[in-house]
Amino acid sequence: MSVRIEPVTQVRGVLFDWGDTLFSPPDAGKVIVAAAAERGVRVDQETARALWNELWDAGKTPEELAKGRDLSAGAHREVWTALFKRANTTVPDVASTLYERVMDPRAWIPYPDTEPTLRALRARGIKIGIVSNVPQDLRPIFAAYGLADLVDAFTHSFEVGAEKPDPANR
């Protein structure tokens, strides 16, 4: 028996990840430099960038991902802040500041092509969904930038009790 697979002839919807796809994070290296200066510590941009890259890479390890950080706002703050404590050896007591200034979705801004892309899809009648591991509702962030009316659905890990990618839902 052969199965005939029909090609997709019409795109009906597009799913976007929020962070680093539609919205740009604050420059974490600059955040570290500024936080260090506030504490009377001098950290150059290269050192700050290397420190951030180390933290970000560590945050992608299986051990960190297994901690369930994206299932609630409390877990997100607790797990990321614990990881960011590694930076306290370079900049005293910076972990909480780093979390607040880099991980808070209100500090992120849309990329220049975000709005035109969403509007072009909307004009074609294509449904738009946002999926994110961020542990708070992104609807107010989209509304603040005048983008809420361009999105049909939001799916947040903390609302559905699953982190992406969730192997059980593949």
**DSSP result, 93-161:** T-HHHHIIIII-GGG-EE-TTHHHHHHHHHHTT-EEEEEE--SS--HHHHHHTT-GGG-SEEEEHHHHT
Same domain membership, residue 30 and residue 42:
yes
* CA separation for the pair 3, 111 (Å, rounded): 43
- CB neighbour list of residue 51: distance below 8 Å, 6 or more residues apart: 29, 32, 43, 87, 90
**How many Å from the N-terminal Cα to the C-terminal Cα in the chain?**
26
The reply to whether 3 falls in a domain is: no
Same domain membership, residue 81 and residue 117:
no
Same domain membership, residue 93 and residue 35:
yes
pLDDT score at 170 = 47
* Tens digits of pLDDT across the chain (170 residues): 677 777 767 889 999 999 999 999 999 999 999 999 999 999 999 999 999 999 999 998 999 988 988 888 899 999 999 999 999 999 999 999 999 999 888 899 999 999 999 999 999 999 999 999 888 899 999 999 999 999 999 998 888 887 776 556 54
The reply to whether 68 falls in a domain is: yes
Same domain membership, residue 79 and residue 113:
no
Q: Tell me how many domains the chain contains.
A: 2
Diameter of the chain measured on Cα atoms = 74
Other residues' Cβ atoms within 10 Å of the Cβ of residue 102: 22
- CB neighbour list of residue 5: distance below 8 Å, 6 or more residues apart: none
